[in-house]
Amino acid sequence: MTQAGPEDLLAIADAACRAAMRAGADFADASVERGRSMSVAVEKNALKSSDTRGWASISVRAFSAGATGWASVSGTGLVAARGAGRKAAELARAAESDPGFVDLVHPAAYPDVAGLFDPRLVEVTAVEVAGWITGNIDGARGVVDDALVTGTARASWWEWALANNLGVAVTQPGTSATVNLQVVIRRGDDVGSYHEWDAARSLAQFAPGAVGPAAATEALRYLDSRRMKTGTLPVVFGPSAAAAFLQGVCAAASAEEVQRNRSFLVGKKEARIAAECLTLVDDPLIAGGLSSAVSDGDGFPHVRVPLVKEGVLQTYLHNHYTANKSGERNTGHSTRGGIACTNIIPSLGVRTASQIIAEVTDGVYVALAQPHPDTASGQMSALVDAGFRIKNGQLTYPLKNTMIAGLAPELLLGLDAISSDYRAEPGRVLPTLRLQGVRVASGEGA
């Protein structure tokens, strides 16, 4: 809705920084973002609503003797930008100096990362977005007549610019397209359901038409779910559950959490944290990657970062502040207020997911779950949202009311297989993992 272009956004960010510096800040940076999204929601197989959203905001950080003040405001106007800059500087003076703060990111060349902006997604119409999801209703019902489809399709476009008082000036336009669907199948009191999605940064990589049929096919498999006996068993994480687990582990590698002594990975740099089969690379430079970008939130140029090599933690995830504080190399993981991984790429194993499952005599397969370990304690305790009992190498029956638990440091050492096949999403490689010695709790059953 706002008419500023990317260069204008940079000028606005620069004006905010200058205002902060004039107001007494030692350092300042400012980000400006504007964007628009269009979404269509489906409820019970019928289109429910069509929405379009526009946003525009300025966020300024000012530093005074290392103390941080920040201010954010709506809009992309120069007056608002300057006001936010002055406010951030004023607030920084109210905080206390931080001896760990050195400076902000210095200007540097940025990498080329292709495929993050698709002009066709800026021009996409609501009718086209509606087609992404209504086609999936037919697709799901082609699999199961009485499938109930609920979900959303969305196209988004945004421009982001960041400047700091040291001369950093970076802009990043972006686009994305997503479809998220939940399919429910009822047979009396019995319910089978599944969640599927597709996401991409460009239309060329977007293939939403398979989402509905896939969700319906999976939902059918989850009818007649049962409990199982409580025990300690091998657990196979399917691609989605595995990705959630690994993301949780990477969150504990945040240097902010480590430096504040809030992580189970404190003191583990260059130490073994997982079985030898685990190698992870964080790669924000993948063309069209869902979490790809040319820079992090501080304006530091993104780089490919080996995170875990054959089970050994190679580095913590840093932003400019934590890297300076510890005297380590900046890995470029600032989210401007936090630290987060980008595209996590595990090295693949030599056996397929089917072969890994076939080796399990008695265990559990977890398709969907939120098995994030607690960053401080490493404790993981999660509900199996969708999963199967494995018996004699076969998925036998779907599970209900079943939980899995363990300590992340032990679970990572108990990791004994990563599949050679994987679910591919833009910038993401999602293989299957197998963990030994996971505590499985349920009601009764076999």
Partner 1 sequence: MQEQVQRLRDAALKRKVEFAEVRFASVRSSSLMLQDGRADRVGTAERAGMGVRVIWKGAWGFACTESVRYSDWRRCLDAALDMAKVSAAYAQEPVTLADAPAVVDEVHTEYAIDPAQVSLERKFAAVRGYEEASGCRAGDHIANLRTGYSDSHLREIVCNSRGACVSSDTVRTMVWHAITTQDGAVRQQALEKRARQCGFELVETTPALELSVKAAARARSLLWAKPAPAGSFPAVFHPSITGLLVHEAVGHNAEADAVLSGQSILAGRLGARIAAECITIVDDATVPGSWGSYRYDSEGVAGRRRVLVDHGVLTGFLHSLETAARMGVAPNGAARADGFMHRPLVRMSNTIIQPGEQSLEDLIRDIDLGILLRGGQWGYVWCDKGQYTCHAGEGVMIREGQLAEQVRDVAVSGLTLETLANVLGVSRDFELDMPGNCGKDGQSIPTNGGGPYVKVKEIVVGGQA
For partner 1, the binding residues in 302-341 under the rule CB under 8 A are none
Closer residue to partner 1 (CB): 41 or 303: 41
Among 383, 396, 421, 423, binds partner 1 (CB under 8 A): 383
Residues in the chain: 446
Query: What CA–CA distance (Å, rounded) separates 25 from 63?
Result: 6
Closer residue to partner 1 (CB): 328 or 374: 374
Of 52-91, binders to partner 1 (CB under 8 A) are 52-57, 67-75, 87, 91
Of 406-435, binders to partner 1 (CB under 8 A) are 406-407
x-marked contacts with partner 1 along 95-124 as a string, rule CB under 8 A:
xx-x--------------------------
Residue 35 C-beta: closest distance to partner 1, Å? 10
Closer residue to partner 1 (CB): 149 or 345: 149
Residue 351 C-beta: closest distance to partner 1, Å? 28
Estimate the crossing angle of helix 211-221 against helix 126-143, to 10 degrees: 30
| Residue 204 neighbours by CB distance under 10 Å | 11
Residue 43 C-beta: closest distance to partner 1, Å? 4
DSSP alpha helices (H): ranges in 293-375?
320-326, 353-358
Residues 16, 28: contact at Cβ < 8 Å?
yes
Query: What CA–CA distance (Å, rounded) separates 133 from 325?
Result: 48
Among 1, 108, 114, 424, binds partner 1 (CB under 8 A): 1
Among 182, 314, 396, 420, binds partner 1 (CB under 8 A): 182
Q: In what order do the strands lie in the sheet with 312-313?
A: 312-313, 305-309, 280-282, 344-346
Among 376, 391, 416, 421, binds partner 1 (CB under 8 A): 376
Residues 34, 158: contact at Cβ < 8 Å?
yes
Contacts of 102 (CB under 8 A, 6+ apart): 321, 324, 325
Among 81, 89, 143, 184, binds partner 1 (CB under 8 A): 184
Query: What CA–CA distance (Å, rounded) separates 296 from 336?
Result: 8
Of 8-47, binders to partner 1 (CB under 8 A) are 38, 40, 43-44, 46-47
Residue 171 C-beta: closest distance to partner 1, Å? 19
356 binds partner 1 (CB under 8 A): no
Among 335, 354, 379, 394, binds partner 1 (CB under 8 A): 379
Contacts of 19 (CB under 8 A, 6+ apart): 81, 82, 83, 84, 85, 86, 89
The residue among 226, 224, 238 whose CA lies nearest residue 195 is: 238
| Residue 197 neighbours by CB distance under 10 Å | 17
Of 253-292, binders to partner 1 (CB under 8 A) are 260-264
DSSP 3-state of 406: strand
Only segment of 156-164, 276-284, 356-364, 395-403 that touches partner 1 (CB under 8 A): 395-403
Of 134-153, binders to partner 1 (CB under 8 A) are 134, 148, 150, 152
Only segment of 186-194, 307-315, 356-364, 423-431 that touches partner 1 (CB under 8 A): 186-194
Q: What single-letter DSSP state applies at residue 205?
A: G
Residue 78 C-beta: closest distance to partner 1, Å? 15
| Residue 347 neighbours by CB distance under 10 Å | 15
Residues 405, 441: contact at Cβ < 8 Å?
yes
Closer residue to partner 1 (CB): 194 or 206: 194
